[in-house]
Amino acid sequence: MSDSRDLEFLLERAERARQLLSQDSHRGDADVQHFVAEMDALADLHGLFLNDDCTEPRQGLTEQQKQQLKKCSKCSAVAYCSRECQVRHWQEGGHKAECSRLAAERRK
């Protein structure tokens, strides 16, 4: 997915969350839960645009290193400076549990 399509997707999600928020608050708990779910999805996806560093913290990366980061091929929500960092984050950092959900959110 291109960056412009990523941005379009994120903006659509933000607009949907805004619409839910602007509805009358007396509509009930289901609407509140739906809104919270929308906002949680947005929070999870913030890395699509803000992630300019390796997911595995290191001493600051140079601009050249940042340009060479590789996004996760399934969800594109996280980036890595090396295969070693990717494997460590998959096995120990929790990405294995989150990746499918993040990818599904991207497809919505």
pLDDT digits over 16-57, tens only? 776 676 665 556 677 777 776 776 666 655 554 444 557 655
Per domain, the residue ranges of the chain are: 1-50, 53-108
What's the chain's average pLDDT? 73
Task: Render pLDDT for 46-57 as a digit per residue (tens, 0 to 9).
Answer: 554 444 557 655
Q: What is the pLDDT of residue 31?
A: 72
CA–chain centroid gap for 103, Å, is: 9
Better-predicted residue by pLDDT, 10 or 28: 10
Q: What share of the chain is helix, strand, coil (3-state, %, to 5)?
A: 65, 5, 30
